[in-house]
Structure 1
Amino acid sequence: YDGGNATDVDELRDAVLLVFGNEQDLPNAMTAAEITDKLGLHSLRQRHWYIQSTCATSGEGLYEGLDWLSNNIASKV
C-alpha cells in the first residue's frame, strides 16, 4: 500500500468498511452525514460501509460497531 486512498486499493474492493465517528460527546463533533461527505463514502457504490458514532472514553458505540462488523464479515464468508 503506497499511502493513497485505501478505498481505491483493488485488493480491498470486497472488504466491508466500518468507520468509528469518535468523540461524539463533544459539541463540535461531525455528524455521520458530514463524515460520509468528507470521506467520499457515497462514491463507494459496490462497497458495504457503516459509520458508528462512538465515545471511546465511555465505550459508547464501540460494541455496536464491532457487532456490525462481525455480522457483515460473517455474511461474506
Structure 2
Amino acid sequence: MTEPQLRDATLLVYANKQDVPGAASAAEVSAELGLPSLRGRTCFLQSCVATQGEGLYEGLDWLSAKLNAA
C-alpha cells in the first residue's frame, strides 16, 4: 500500500477467526499490518467469523460505499 501506484487503492482487510479463543483482536491485526501508518489511504479492517457469516456483509457494504463514492 505504500507504493505510489496504489495511492488511490481502497483496502478492505478481514480479521477472521474472531470466535477462536486467543485470536488476535482487530486492533492487534491492524497494528501488525501497520494500517494506522497508512496516512491518506482508504483502508478498513473488519472483524469477522467467516464460517458464520458474521462481519462479511459489513465489510462488503463499507467497500461498496467507498467505491461508489469514488
Name the structure with the higher strand share.
Answer: 2
Partners of 2:11 and 2:40 in 1: CA distance: 11
TM alignment of 1:22-33, pairs within 5 A: 22-33=16-27
Instruction: Give percent identity, aligned residues only.
Output: 54
Name structure 1 gaps, 5 residues minimum: 1-6
User: What is the letter of the counterpart of residue 52 of structure 1?
Assistant: Q
RMSD: 0.9
2:7 aligned partner:
13
The TM-score normalised by the length of structure 1 is 0.84
The alignment's TM-score, normalised by the length of structure 2, stands at 0.92
Moved over 6 A (4+): none
Aligned-partner Cα distance in 1 for 2:50–2:30: 20
